[in-house]
A and B are shown apart, each in its own frame.
Chain A
Amino acid sequence: MHEKVDVLIIGSGASGAAVAWSLADTKMRILCLEQGDWVKPTDYPTNGRDWEARLFGDFAINPNRRARETDYPINNGTSPIQVVNFNGVGGSTIMYTAHYPRLHPSDFRVKTLDGVADDWPVDYATLEPYFTENDRMTGVAGLEGDPAYPHHVPPMPPLPLGKTGRCFGEAMNRLGWHWWPSDSAIATAEYDGRAPCINLGHCTPGCAQGAKGSADVTYWPHALRAGVELRTRARVREVTVGPDGLANGAIYYDAEGKEHFQPAEMVIVACNGIGTPRLLLNSVSGRFPNGIANSSGLVGRNLMFHPFAHTYGYVDEPIDGNIGAQLSLWSQEFYETDKARGFVRGYTLQLHRGAGTIVDAIANTARGFLPWGEAHHDVYRTLFNRKLGLSAICEDLPEEHNRVTLDPVLKDSNGIPAPKIDYALSDNTKKMIAHGVARSKDVLAAAGAKNVGSDAPMLNAGWHLMGTARMGTDPERSVVNEWGRSHDVKNLFIVDGSIWVTSGGVNPTSTIQALALYIADNIKRRLADATLFD
């Protein structure tokens, strides 16, 4: 039996780290349980010659492939998009690209503006100070003045344009389309003890330099210094409830498989769009036979990914290849709704650099470009370091049949039921994907690229996991209220991507963390006036 804590946070990723840091100034006793380990800078693949190979091994993005002790299996069923994530301190920010856009103001008002889905119970203006605070804590590089966004000033200058960026910029200007250096959670100067980016290559498999703003190097050092306790290799099985119907702690397994009970005054769940519904559905009791916080029946439903439509082509002259951050530019030309396109909502175009020697070879084999035999070498040399790629990151609207449930058979190494995914693309999304591919081909044509093709939707691209414990003011239509508290259990909070009402068409981490800071502020305010659990 462990000593009772005031606040128990489950999950140390993007949102868990932010909420832990923000609550630390209350001087409450705060404990975070994390199923994974710390990842040391020396663990990252770019320390070794096998850096690309490890993308297919212990740093694979798909947990079923990676299969570390600290991972849990996921039954992706027949979903055309598979879930990818990372389990460890910092969560999936360890392996994110650090592409760091905010949601747009219109994203919070989709029902009002476009007559689909629901409006959020918060808006951009409410979150704006939290975006700013989060940019400061994370260390964001970017360029002031993007006409696609309300004015904001990233704390550091943008990532370099490079040869690939020049190609894209010239092509986009020929078309008269918007493009801009992205907000990136990558230090381009010394920042808060972090060294600046030295262009190791793709940022996904973790940053040995420490320039990438993963939550383990942004929020956690500050939270720990402020007194938050972080307990690793603690895999939570369930949130428990007392006779009063309030959450009273959690049961978890340590690295040896020993069961523990951690009592707490309040519980904050921060396991993101798959881990959170899995945990809530596994938290079954007499009072909550269908899982805790699930009186609406919406826990696990409305799963949203961002379907990625990747389109590529090859230019004649060598460009940046794998050198530099994979993503440093975006286009919002097709972000806002234009019903003449045949679909509502829109997408961001991410403009990519290429890959290293190995990933290039594997991708070009998958595309059928790279032959066996004598011709292999000549063809390889016409493709290597010449790839331009664009991804349309499409807004996915909520649909209840897209959902996370518990697999009746599959379990993790502690015997906890694993998540099962049921997901299908909507007609609106399919039209958006087709539009994104067509417009990407326009860009590639303007850049003079050849051998143009596409992978749409990309299979291993279920990075962005949203909607499975949505927020709202109506307890029958949402899981948490407008400031993240469960409608059913008044000392249980959810702060991750699962509370999103709609998905927008941008990478979600910036907004997830801003929302976590906003919820933390609401908790603090209500603690002060003693209304937190009313």
Chain B
Amino acid sequence: MTYGTLTDAEARDLRALAGIMIPASSAHGVPGADDALIFADILKSLERDTADAQMALKHLRELSGGAFAELAPERRTEVAMRFRHEGGAPLFALNRVVLLCYYRDDRVMRALGQEPRSPFPKGHVVEQGDWSLLDPVRKRAPMWRQV
């Protein structure tokens, strides 16, 4: 299956928006979603969501009265917040791609205390737990209806 790609202007607007959605944080030691590596992943991962992303960015451009990325920072934030309320399903799809690339970045994963690796083959350990917690339930009479 082939998907479209964003124009340079759309990509610039998206990067500016991604930086507002999830800015870098020195307090948490994490990059923003507009980080070069993460943003490259976002562009590559639009795939099924490309059409929605383009629709969302068209809406953003309309709200901006031109290129969103070229607005002054304060105005950009103002427009972004309005867009957040008005963007609907296309924006949700766009936001989803930003999140799915951001939250698999090694730096972000490590900052969350997560090992940046695939689940297989190492897997995870889940504590077995104490099944004596079930003792009150074990004492119950049969609950199912006899027929």
Show the binding face of A for B, using Cβ within 8 Å.
44, 46-53, 56-57, 65, 67, 104-106, 108-109, 112-113, 123-124, 143, 145, 147-150, 159-163, 165-166, 169-170, 172-173, 176, 178-181, 198-201, 208-209, 320, 323-324, 332, 335-336, 357-358, 360-362, 365-366, 372-374, 376-377, 381, 384
**How far does the alpha carbon of A415 sit from the alpha carbon of B28 in the complex, in Å?**
54
Interface contact A201-B119, CB-CB below 8 Å: yes
Is B84 located at the chain interface by the 8 A CB criterion?
yes
Interface contact B118-A49, CB-CB below 8 Å: yes
**How far does the alpha carbon of A425 sit from the alpha carbon of B96 in the complex, in Å?**
29
Which B residues, 111 to 147, have Cβ-Cβ distances below 8 Å to chain A?
A: 112, 114, 116-131, 133-134, 136-138, 140-147
Is B99 located at the chain interface by the 8 A CB criterion?
yes
Is B90 located at the chain interface by the 8 A CB criterion?
no
Instruction: Name which residue of chain B comes closest to A331, CB basis.
Output: B137
Interface contact A199-B99, CB-CB below 8 Å: no
- Min CB distance, B46 to chain A, in Å? 11
Chain B residues with Cβ under 8 A from A335's Cβ? 143-144
Chain B residues with Cβ under 8 A from A48's Cβ? 118
- Residue B133 contacts which of A173, A178, A320 (CB distance < 8 angstroms)? A173
Q: Given A160-B129, A169-B133, A201-B124: A46 and B144 within 8 A (CB)?
A: no
Known: A161-B129, A362-B96, A365-B96. 10 other contacts (CB 8 A): A46-B119, A50-B104, A52-B103, A105-B147, A108-B147, A147-B142, A148-B144, A150-B144, A179-B134, A381-B28
Interface contact B147-A106, CB-CB below 8 Å: yes
List 16 contacting pairs A-B, 8 Å CB cutoff, sorted by A.
Answer: A49-B116, A56-B48, A147-B140, A148-B143, A161-B130, A162-B126, A162-B127, A166-B130, A173-B133, A199-B126, A209-B121, A323-B126, A365-B92, A376-B21, A377-B25, A384-B112
Interface contact B143-A365, CB-CB below 8 Å: no
Instruction: Name which residue of chain B comes closest to A151, CB basis.
Output: B142
Interface contact A373-B126, CB-CB below 8 Å: no
Q: Given A65-B48, A148-B143, A180-B137: A53 and B127 within 8 A (CB)?
A: no
Q: Given A46-B118, A208-B120, A332-B143: A358 and B133 within 8 A (CB)?
A: no
- Residue A147 contacts which of B102, B108, B137 (CB distance < 8 angstroms)? B137
Is B109 located at the chain interface by the 8 A CB criterion?
yes
Instruction: Name which residue of chain B comes closest to A119, CB basis.
Output: B147
- Nearest 3 interchain pairs by C-beta: A161-B129, A198-B123, A200-B119
Interface contact A209-B145, CB-CB below 8 Å: no
